[in-house]
Structure 1
Amino acid sequence: MKVYGLIGYPLSHSFSKGFFAEKFAREGIKGCMYDSFPIPEIGELPALLTQYPDLQGLNVTIPYKQTVMSYLDELSPAAAQIGAVNCIHFKDGRKIGYNTDAIGFRRSLEPLLQSHHNKALVLGTGGAAKAVQYVLESLNIPYKLVSRQATADSISYEQLDASMIASHTLIVNTTPLGMYPNVNASPALPYEQLTDKHLLYDLIYNPAVTAFLQQGADRGATIKNGHEMLILQAEASWEIWNNE
């Protein structure tokens, strides 16, 4: 039996376990199982690996995408540059880290991009934002990071004026603001400045239309949630575990 799974904590809302159960059934994949492994501390990872010697691959979610890196033998170039890992392949006794968030984000964003989507605002500065930044750099789309307080690398929400919203027509939310159950929350943007030229992308997928996306849709903007990205990053993980 080939074992795959997800580590993180807590794992009450695991998309991955249901996704892979359906995938195995739908595609007639035999001899494989995918389980959730909630570990309260990343230091429990070595014991988990000892307990499951048949592990072929793991996905990694909050809060371990960065701390897991010190337990790995090797990183893909993208994972090294992003500084976050959400996929581990166990191969020839080595633990190799990848970032399929970047793959999923790029594959779901590219079909929506138009020529005027040539500058971006990235809301949030956490691990998910790093994958988004990596993709924008690879697409040659300059961006500004936005956080609650301005830093050397980011501007604050208060600094977003009409001209900045007008010139930055791609806006990506990487924060948890608006995620279920706090569905009324949204990043503090001047939403009245949005137009039909804007593309709003939210990494959140529950609810399907966050308050952030709804305010864009109300003004004619193109909107996209994180559900397809999640599916694509899971499929990319499966590709890595079985092809690399």
Structure 2
Amino acid sequence: MNIFGLIGKNIDYSFSRNYFNNKFKAEGISATYKNFDLSDIQEFPDIFKNTSEIKGLNVTIPYKKEIISYLDHLDPIAREIGAVNTIKINDDKSLTGYNTDYYGFLGALKPYLRSHHTKALILGTGGASKAVAYALKLLNIPFKFVSRTPSPEIYSYPSLSQQHLEDYQLIINCTPLGTHPQTSQYPPIPVEFLNSHHLIFDLIYNPATTRLMQLGLNNKATALNGYRMLQLQAEKAWEIWNS
């Protein structure tokens, strides 16, 4: 039986395992999807010693950047993004890294964009934020990162003002703040300045409505979670594994 799986750390909560195993059952596919929970990325090669039938892998926090040094090839888009969330095991057993996060984000976001969503704030600077930035470039939407460790090119959370939120009406949360079970947390942006023009895209999918989303909804903003993005990126990964 073919095996697919997810590389990550503390990933019992994972969307991918349930999604793919349900897909395999519904479509009569002889395969299974497993979690490979690694306490350190150096454990990655060991999974192939114990399992010879692995045909494809996904990668999640915190290894989307670290995994790159273990790969034989990089798709040009993954190289530009600087993060990998999908690995194809080729016929010669070499490993090629891809990024399908940008594809999922793009497909989930586009139906909700309006003419006034001309600039974006990206909360966080991890691997997922790089995929979001790549997608925004494709849409010709200028953006700024926001981080706890600012630089001349990156805003700090305390620096954000009412004017910033008037200028940036698309806000994408790429941090884990608000993920179950710490559902009361949210990135410390000045939510009191959110309004009906704002579109908040929170990459978190558990809970379905995060604290950040709810604070936006309270102020009449539109708010999306990451579930549709995950569906789209998963199907793109499946396409890559079978190409």
Q: Scaled by the length of structure 2, what TM-score is found?
A: 0.96
The Cα of 1:107 is off from its aligned counterpart by 0.7
SS of the residue corresponding to residue 185 of structure 1 reads coil
Letter of the 2:67 partner, please give it: V
SS of the residue corresponding to residue 79 of structure 1 reads helix
The Cα of 1:51 is off from its aligned counterpart by 2.2
Q: Could you tell me how far apart the structure 1 residues matched to 2:123 and 2:44 are?
A: 31
Query: Residue in 2 aligned with 1:176?
Result: 176
**What whole-Å deviation, never above 9, does each CA across 1:99-131 have from its counterpart, x for those lacking one?**
111111111011111111010001111111111
The number of equivalent residue pairs is 242
Letter of the 1:160 partner, please give it: L
SS of the residue corresponding to residue 128 of structure 1 reads helix
SS of the residue corresponding to residue 106 of structure 1 reads helix
Q: State how 1:170-209 maps to structure 2 within 5 Å.
A: 170-209=170-209
Q: Could you tell me how far apart the structure 2 residues matched to 1:62 and 1:191 are?
A: 26
Letter of the 1:152 partner, please give it: P
Q: State how 1:52-71 maps to structure 2 within 5 Å.
A: 52-71=51-70
Query: Residue in 1 aligned with 2:31?
Result: 32
- Structure 2: 5+ residue stretches without partners: none
Q: Could you tell me how far apart the structure 1 residues matched to 2:149 and 2:102 are?
A: 26
Q: Scaled by the length of structure 1, what TM-score is found?
A: 0.95
Range moving further from structure 2, 52-61 or 149-158: 149-158
SS of the residue corresponding to residue 207 of structure 1 reads coil
The 1:190–1:39 alpha-carbon spacing in structure 2 relative to 1, beyond 3 Å, is: closer
**What whole-Å deviation, never above 9, does each CA across 1:1-36 have from its counterpart, x for those lacking one?**
21111111222212111111110111122x211111
Q: State how 1:1-244 maps to structure 2 within 5 Å.
A: 1-29=1-29, 31-93=30-92, 94-243=94-243
- List, as ranges, runs of 4+ consecutive aligned residues in structure 1 with deviation greater than 3 Å: none
Percent pairwise identity: 49
- Structure 1: 5+ residue stretches without partners: none
The Cα of 1:232 is off from its aligned counterpart by 1.2
The Cα of 1:186 is off from its aligned counterpart by 1.3
The Cα of 1:234 is off from its aligned counterpart by 1.1
Q: Could you tell me how far apart the structure 2 residues matched to 1:187 and 1:60 are?
A: 24
**What whole-Å deviation, never above 9, does each CA across 1:137-182 have from its counterpart, x for those lacking one?**
1111001111124213311112211121111110001111111111
Q: Could you tell me how far apart the structure 2 residues matched to 1:14 and 1:176 are?
A: 13
